[in-house]
Structure 1
Amino acid sequence: MTPSFNTFKRIFSLKAGLSEVYAEEVHAGGVLAMRGYLVFIILSCVFLYYVLHCILWRESTSWLRVIEMKRSPMLTCSLKPAFDSLLSFRGIYPFLCTSALKTIATLHENDNIALPYGLKKSAHHFYLALSRLQSCDLFPESDKEPCKKCVVVGNGAVLKNKTLGEKIDSYDVIIRINDGPVRGHEEDVGTRTTFRIFYPESVFTNPEDNDPNSVAVLTVFKSYDLKWLWELLAGITPEINHFWKKPALNLIYKPEQIRILDPIITRIAAFNMLQFPTTFPKKEKPKHPTTGIIAITLAFYICHEVHLAGFKYNFTDKNGLLHYYGNSTMSMMSKNEYHNITAEQNFLKNLIEKNFIINLTKD
């Protein structure tokens, strides 16, 4: 039988339909393949990023070396200090170490508090800075004296012409603050320095001011302070846009001389010593302890007896000298919006009246 025209028409229609189905399947398969390639590329990029991040993290933080930095044992004095009632926290090790950093942060609640008084969201920056340091020891292993007599030397003009240098040098521990010079003022302030508390805007830059036997202690107020330290020690020129004044662009201290203060010391100074509120009104700038009060708080946790020198200021004479060095006047104190100097002076007066500390510069 000869197929009819309608039969051929049905056959061609069927083939055309099969071709369209095949074409649709090929197209669908191509789309799926393309999606598969895209997913593969995305996953590959994610994996590559992870690998590079791990490599850079390990290199930038010197991971293997950092883990080995452990704190040295603290010697306990059996005698209670006069200021014992002020110590609401016990057993505080003042310098950060990478060993058990997160454990200690949790213990001190530092992991729940952001900078300047905690580590929350900044642990990476602390690790980076610590990766460039070589020690977090408090005192040398050879130092076995548990009951230390300490003096905290302020920068007040009251030190000028007091010839307290020899007296200051007689203490077991001498704590100085910021860039208060020794060179050229030895008769009034002594020659020795055990610890010098600083921040990026207040550190020495002249190599002649370096005492190789001293330890420089960074007080951290922002993550950029840690970045600044890491960059300088890594040989990188640091950014200066995030500081209230130009920070140092070189360090005169070697890595083994540098420590990072545990933020809990500053937090104790602010909330326990000065009784600052934990929050301030939106229109008021938060107040923070001065380096001097932070240094005194540090002394309370490493010393059995604490004396002061150079912490008295004459607020009535606006044109009087502010420091025992330089030409800055007391008028600068009234311009400072970040500190409550009146609260600090009242705090120190209370300590002296209760004989918790001894003031070497009473007048």
Structure 2
Amino acid sequence: MKPWKRNLSNFLDLRSELKKTVHTEMILNRHNVRQSQRFNFTFTQEKITTHEFFYKLLHEYSPEQTEYKRCSIVGNGGILNGSKCGYEIDKADFVIRCNAPPIGRFKEDAGVKSNITTVNPSIIVNRYGRAKNKGQQSRLIKDMKEYNNYIWFPSFAAKWIYDLSIKLNKLLNKNLKSVTFVHGNPNHFREIKDYWSKKHMHKLLSTGFYITTASLLFCKEVHLYGFWPFASDLHNRSTPYHYFEDLKLSKASHAFDSEFDKLLSLHKDGVLQLHVDDC
């Protein structure tokens, strides 16, 4: 709870260290993908060669090719409830939201600005039934209208996820002008995973931790909100798993405790600021 102070030297040292392992970009675009390119899927042994139709879905520009002064990375932790952090989140030059949270009715606590919003395949499966029918597709389109700029999807996690990504890309292109669907680069995820594996973090990285690491390469100042893996806050108030629904913490495939320890260490070192109280 000591006042946070940025340490530029520590920040630049970490960025330099990251760049020794991470040589690719977070988002696939027409400059870093060939028309016929072979990719390994992240979580299966399968491989795929992309063809011209996929290349045409890609965009010329990726937002992380610009360096931003201040970035807000917004997790979904219940710690945001009543925090009144919305204004502080939105004043950043670039805002990344993790896993398609509802934001409109939580503006005061979570803000509304979105430059990149990540969407996990499990959300499309559990919330929208893989968008198989018109009703599910309409609900998906309606919910995606909350966001602006880019919708990021881990398209090369597995073959079925790649197939789903093509469907989603075409669906959103046809029905929404406010967002651009972009495909995550599996090589970029793999490089960041390799970096943290060298630091003895071997479990599957959560989206929030992965995106936070990536942001250190294109944001001069990184601020985290809604990252809190505990059932109560600093004032011993009960905290739900998500700020927008009454869920309790559950076992997960991610090492949230280890990730939080690392984020706390980076906070103490002045590399990023972890906001864990009311604003």
1:123 aligns with 2:49: yes
What's the TM-score, normalizing by structure 1?
Answer: 0.58
Partner of 1:152: 73
How well do the aligned residues superpose, as a CA RMSD in angstroms? 3.8
Q: Residue 275 and residue 325 in structure 1: after superposition, are their counterparts in 2 closer, same or farther (change >3 A)? A: farther
Partner of 2:186: 263
Q: CA deviation at 1:147?
A: 4.2
Matched residue type, 2:25:
Y
Q: Is the 8 A contact 1:97 1:130 kept in 2?
A: no
Q: Residue 297 and residue 156 in structure 1: after superposition, are their counterparts in 2 closer, same or farther (change >3 A)? A: same
Partner of 1:324: 243
Counterpart Cα distance in 2 of 1:228 and 1:159: 31
Q: CA deviation at 1:288?
A: 1.4
Q: Is the 8 A contact 2:150 2:182 kept in 1?
A: yes
Q: Residue 167 and residue 189 in structure 1: after superposition, are their counterparts in 2 closer, same or farther (change >3 A)? A: same
- Pick aligned residue for 1:216 from 135, 144, 151: 151
What's the TM-score, normalizing by structure 2?
Answer: 0.74
Greater Cα radius of gyration, structure 1 or 2: 1
Q: Residue 232 and residue 146 in structure 1: after superposition, are their counterparts in 2 closer, same or farther (change >3 A)? A: closer
1:352 aligns with 2:271: no
2:47 is paired with a residue whose SS is coil
Alignment of 1:168-187 (within 5 A): 168-187=89-108
Matched residue type, 1:340:
A
Structure in which a larger fraction of residues adopt strand:
2
Q: Residue 199 and residue 359 in structure 1: after superposition, are their counterparts in 2 closer, same or farther (change >3 A)? A: same
- Pick aligned residue for 2:204 from 283, 288, 295: 288
1:265 is paired with a residue whose SS is helix
- Pick aligned residue for 2:164 from 209, 228, 244: 228
Alignment of 1:71-86 (within 5 A): 81-82=11-12, 83-86=14-17
Counterpart Cα distance in 2 of 1:311 and 1:256: 25
1:185 is paired with a residue whose SS is helix
User: Deviation digits for residues 68-98 of structure 1, max 9, x if unmatched?
Assistant: xxxxxxxxxxx99444244133663221124
Partner of 1:207: 142
Q: Is the 8 A contact 1:308 1:359 kept in 2?
A: yes
- Pick aligned residue for 1:308 from 219, 224, 227: 224
User: Deviation digits for residues 242-297 of structure 1, max 9, x if unmatched?
Assistant: xxxxxxx999755970111111332233221354779xxxxxxx831111112112
Counterpart Cα distance in 2 of 1:191 and 1:91: 32
User: Deviation digits for residues 71-129 of structure 1, max 9, x if unmatched?
Assistant: xxxxxxxx9944424413366322112445259x8xxxx86xx32179972233xx477
Q: Is the 8 A contact 2:70 2:221 kept in 1?
A: yes
**Percent identical residues:** 20
Partner of 1:96: 28
Q: CA deviation at 1:136?
A: 4.6
Aligned length: 249
Which structure is richer in relative contact order (CA contacts within 8 A, separation 6 or more)? 2
Counterpart Cα distance in 2 of 1:362 and 1:274: 30
Counterpart Cα distance in 1 of 2:174 and 2:261: 35
Q: Where in structure 2 are there 5+ consecutive unaligned residues?
A: 1-8, 128-139
Q: Where in structure 1 are there 5+ consecutive unaligned residues?
A: 1-78, 236-248, 279-285
Partner of 2:135: none
Q: Is the 8 A contact 1:80 1:304 kept in 2?
A: no
